[in-house]
Structure 1
């Protein structure tokens, strides 16, 4: 897990590249390297995970000297791929060199060979061409700015701003965020002139011409599975085999690996299967809690850990312990609006893991989307937030001209079944893109690597393609998964309903953090974006919240988060 950066064009300079690398140094504190050739500058921040030797530092040049790689992420199946690359004389035991050799042999088709999370760029010296790509679901980030004569790219938005690109808000994306809760389309960001390469796409750049192409066609892969009719028991067996392999290859590292756990089914499944594969190794487990029994999942976590005996590291997030500073730190690291107090709580796990030298953590992201776990999958609505009874958005606080800039998201409906369309939306437009961005930034803020075994493309494609009755049966969601893990978990955990709230965000924003909320509103009134808001309406909403209207706290968080970023 690292940071990559590059500048190609007449405005490129070493000074500019150095500024970009310094701004994202937290992504890779072990080594900062750069490479240049005429008007091409490539840079890398390294967090050493596989092959810790200096031989694997980047930018990495091929044996022939014609290709230069900067790479962020992991190719989990690099050991298997290496056996197919006998033509190449490997100098390291890293997955980075396997990636480069794969590109030399297969060209852009190498992408279909990779099982991993990746964002990389390869400079072809002879052709003076840049090839860059992002993994199927966009686990690892790739941001870019393309001007009339120069391309800039980096792992974080702040690095591109450090290169001198103005930090001007994209008002359409911001207005849509306040009005509909949208975080933008897969290519958009909250800042003008900075875009992101969507997951499952690649980029080619030559003579300052930029071409972006799609390489991962999820629907077609799902259809291949749908053509094979299999029984429930067969599906369960196949999924278990894939799940075990997915977790197994994500333990490949030359540093300590741990995992995150909550009291829910997904992370409990991860715990059970980790201990099947890594028996007797006492893999460290991490969880957060807030000391509020209305929200904490600690009792369920401790029940599971009592069975497996993993060392459990409990991380407390308290409003009494510099919470405002933690909120501001994480919001600034995100560069764009993030998910709220749960994101801040989650970040403290990585802070603790880094202190204990657990540099790689696994978590349970992705099960709800592939097995239809959210409550709104069974409801006739277009919700993207679980556990709400009315809209969490307050467009009435926006000034009318700004409000008109909001664009209601229009997501594709490729499937005949509404549940499948919601799953697809959550995988590629809403839930997963948000969570992956939040998670990447909070892990990298503390120079740690997060791996998502449940987002192995083989698992997602297979689960998505299964009949609806394998996912939802007699009102029970994630049915096949629950049946699969019932042999390892108690009924109390296996059939526990999903809990939508994990922190007392509603209470804290109305009590312990209320002064911070009011200061945020004051800051907005005196900011460059004050014209976005009707502060008479906004003040009324804050008053209603203070007086007990706390069905949702998302709008309050939006304003606090926005005041930090603008």
Structure 2
């Protein structure tokens, strides 16, 4: 995992990339390099976090043998060894890196190479002869790719702040912010919270040249893959799915640096714990979990007994309320956009500890709920509420009339003749997964740590997604087939336990210890055009009297970080 950046068709491309790699240093502190074209109008930058092939042979930007193609690559292609064996007869490899395999694969197969890649990635290849850029993003958007087109020049980066550093004005996209406050959304797949800056949607590739401009095309045919699997309709895929789970774990342990994993007390991370120990029974892999010291929300009472049985070293990472103001400011800088709340700050403590311990790669259990329809709202009538909350947590009465009018209800594709599958599709490609992956990428990279998502292996997601509803929900149990599969690993106490949302004492802290932080945030916002003057303070006083839902209070704090 690294940082990539580039500027094309601009006379100051080299200087711009210099500033971009500086602000992305945290994404790759091991090395910084750049490519500059002969005419000085194109430059690519790279910040390296060394995970595979730690030698100088793994340096980027990486060049084809004839120097025509220049690659900058962020992420991991886990099946690079298998692809390398396939390509070795037509390409002379000089390194042991997955990035060189990506370059060779693209030269051999063009855009079709993307279908062969198993992993998380965002990369760009500059064709020095045709003056054309090719860029692509992985199937679910684990790795970021932001870009801006201005006066025919093209700029891209792993983080928004790098584009600002190149000279793009930091100006809010009011309509995206209006939707955030009215509906709790974080923008459509191509949008950001900032004007002039877009993101390449997950599962898409982009080409850019002066004659053609930017052309974006979808390459990941998720819907077609699901239809094919449904048509095949294999009666029992339990053994196939379990084998894929194990393969996915093994692939994500391909690393030349220490690997650990994150754990909570839920089914998904318990499954991760069990599979890690099945794959590596004689190597106790280090585990990380966070807690706040509030027994109403902490999951140590579930985590510690599980770890006691497996013997994995456990690092317990505590978030205290006193840390929050400073940590909020720091995390907001690295996020560049609003994030979900105090649980994200607590998650940051894990990566801080991992960095101190020298654990350079962590795994987590993201993706099972979306693949297996694990949320309760899939199975009742609260699909358009937040986490099943029946009354809206968004209090639009505090918003100015002009600002409210900017909000538009986002429309999501519904490609299936099935309500639950369309909700899963929404969460995978529009709402939950894009949001969580952005939070997690910035949090992990903030501490120069690579986060891998074994349960977002596209083969696992597709197989689970395509299964009949009876395998997703049975007698009040969500993720039914998964629960049956892992029963032999975990026992019924865990495999049949009801889903628990990952929580922190956010409501209590915002109403009490963090009151000065909230008041300071409200003071910043009171004179903006987004809110009716004086309404935010009244809203907060009411919240302190009855702190039932804190989503809107956190939104005010989030916006205040960018004022």
Give the structure-1-normalised TM-score: 0.97
Q: Is the aligned partner of 1:514 residue 2:477?
A: no
Relative to 1, partners in 2 of residues 1:449 and 1:487: Cα closer, same or farther, differing over 3 Å? same
Residue aligning to 1:287: 289
Match of 2:174 among 171, 176, 183: 171
Relative to 1, partners in 2 of residues 1:561 and 1:171: Cα closer, same or farther, differing over 3 Å? same
Once residues 556 and 75 of structure 2 are traced to their aligned partners in structure 1, the CA distance between those partners, rounded to angstroms, is: 33
Match of 1:57 among 44, 53, 59: 59
Q: In the alignment, is the contact (CA less than 8 A) between 1:2 and 1:71 conserved in 2?
A: yes
Q: Is the aligned partner of 1:129 residue 2:129?
A: no
1:359-370 correspondence to structure 2 within 5 Å: 359-370=360-371
Residue aligning to 2:556: 559
Q: In the alignment, is the contact (CA less than 8 A) between 1:295 and 1:502 conserved in 2?
A: yes
Residue aligning to 1:542: 540
Instruction: Give the stretch that moved more between structures: 363-372 or 55-64.
Output: 55-64
What secondary structure does 1:183 align onto? coil
What secondary structure does 2:134 align onto? strand
Once residues 440 and 466 of structure 1 are traced to their aligned partners in structure 2, the CA distance between those partners, rounded to angstroms, is: 29
Residue aligning to 2:23: 23
Once residues 448 and 386 of structure 2 are traced to their aligned partners in structure 1, the CA distance between those partners, rounded to angstroms, is: 30
Q: Is the aligned partner of 1:220 residue 2:217?
A: no
1:476-487 correspondence to structure 2 within 5 Å: 476-487=477-488
Relative to 1, partners in 2 of residues 1:444 and 1:200: Cα closer, same or farther, differing over 3 Å? same
1:261 Cα deviation (Å)? Answer: 0.2
| Count of residue correspondences | 559
Once residues 109 and 240 of structure 1 are traced to their aligned partners in structure 2, the CA distance between those partners, rounded to angstroms, is: 28
Residue aligning to 1:261: 263
Residue aligning to 2:116: 113
What secondary structure does 1:84 align onto? helix
Q: In the alignment, is the contact (CA less than 8 A) between 1:168 and 1:191 conserved in 2?
A: yes
Residue aligning to 1:230: 234
Once residues 186 and 137 of structure 2 are traced to their aligned partners in structure 1, the CA distance between those partners, rounded to angstroms, is: 19
Residue aligning to 2:325: 324
Q: In the alignment, is the contact (CA less than 8 A) between 1:420 and 1:464 conserved in 2?
A: yes
Q: In the alignment, is the contact (CA less than 8 A) between 2:203 and 2:219 conserved in 1?
A: yes
Once residues 384 and 137 of structure 1 are traced to their aligned partners in structure 2, the CA distance between those partners, rounded to angstroms, is: 23
Residue aligning to 2:35: 35
Once residues 466 and 352 of structure 1 are traced to their aligned partners in structure 2, the CA distance between those partners, rounded to angstroms, is: 39
1:170-189 correspondence to structure 2 within 5 Å: 170-189=173-192
User: Cα deviations across residues 86-139 of structure 1 (Å, max 9, x unaligned)?
Assistant: 211111000011010001110111000100100000011111111000000000
Relative to 1, partners in 2 of residues 1:11 and 1:558: Cα closer, same or farther, differing over 3 Å? farther
Once residues 44 and 539 of structure 1 are traced to their aligned partners in structure 2, the CA distance between those partners, rounded to angstroms, is: 45
What secondary structure does 2:321 align onto? coil
Once residues 15 and 228 of structure 1 are traced to their aligned partners in structure 2, the CA distance between those partners, rounded to angstroms, is: 54
Q: In the alignment, is the contact (CA less than 8 A) between 1:290 and 1:503 conserved in 2?
A: yes
Unaligned runs of 5+ in 1: none
Instruction: Give the stretch that moved more between structures: 202-211 or 425-434.
Output: 202-211
User: Cα deviations across residues 51-108 of structure 1 (Å, max 9, x unaligned)?
Assistant: 0011111111111211110000000000000011121111100001101000111011
Q: In the alignment, is the contact (CA less than 8 A) between 1:471 and 1:477 conserved in 2?
A: yes
User: Cα deviations across residues 3-56 of structure 1 (Å, max 9, x unaligned)?
Assistant: 000000134332211111101110000001001102110000000000001111
What secondary structure does 1:388 align onto? coil
1:239-278 correspondence to structure 2 within 5 Å: 239-278=241-280
Residue aligning to 1:402: 403
Residue aligning to 2:47: 45
Q: In the alignment, is the contact (CA less than 8 A) between 1:119 and 1:140 conserved in 2?
A: yes
Residue aligning to 1:93: 96
Give the structure-2-normalised TM-score: 0.98
Q: In the alignment, is the contact (CA less than 8 A) between 2:287 and 2:313 conserved in 1?
A: yes
Residue aligning to 2:142: 139
Q: Is the aligned partner of 1:75 residue 2:73?
A: no
Q: In the alignment, is the contact (CA less than 8 A) between 1:4 and 1:43 conserved in 2?
A: yes
Residue aligning to 2:195: 192
Once residues 107 and 494 of structure 1 are traced to their aligned partners in structure 2, the CA distance between those partners, rounded to angstroms, is: 44
Q: In the alignment, is the contact (CA less than 8 A) between 1:12 and 1:150 conserved in 2?
A: no
Instruction: Give the stretch that moved more between structures: 489-498 or 154-163.
Output: 489-498
Unaligned runs of 5+ in 2: none
Instruction: Give the stretch that moved more between structures: 449-458 or 297-306.
Output: 297-306
Q: In the alignment, is the contact (CA less than 8 A) between 2:400 and 2:530 conserved in 1?
A: yes
Q: In the alignment, is the contact (CA less than 8 A) between 2:382 and 2:388 conserved in 1?
A: no
Residue aligning to 1:343: 344
Q: In the alignment, is the contact (CA less than 8 A) between 2:258 and 2:359 conserved in 1?
A: yes
Residue aligning to 1:13: 13
Once residues 514 and 454 of structure 1 are traced to their aligned partners in structure 2, the CA distance between those partners, rounded to angstroms, is: 39
What secondary structure does 1:253 align onto? coil
1:384 Cα deviation (Å)? Answer: 5.3
Once residues 537 and 483 of structure 1 are traced to their aligned partners in structure 2, the CA distance between those partners, rounded to angstroms, is: 51
Relative to 1, partners in 2 of residues 1:61 and 1:427: Cα closer, same or farther, differing over 3 Å? same
Residue aligning to 2:314: 312
What secondary structure does 1:531 align onto? coil
1:168 Cα deviation (Å)? Answer: 0.4
Q: In the alignment, is the contact (CA less than 8 A) between 1:12 and 1:41 conserved in 2?
A: no
Residue aligning to 1:3: 3
Q: In the alignment, is the contact (CA less than 8 A) between 1:11 and 1:150 conserved in 2?
A: no
Structure 1 vs Structure 2 CA RMSD: 1.0
User: Cα deviations across residues 242-294 of structure 1 (Å, max 9, x unaligned)?
Assistant: 11111110000000000000000000000000100011101000000011110
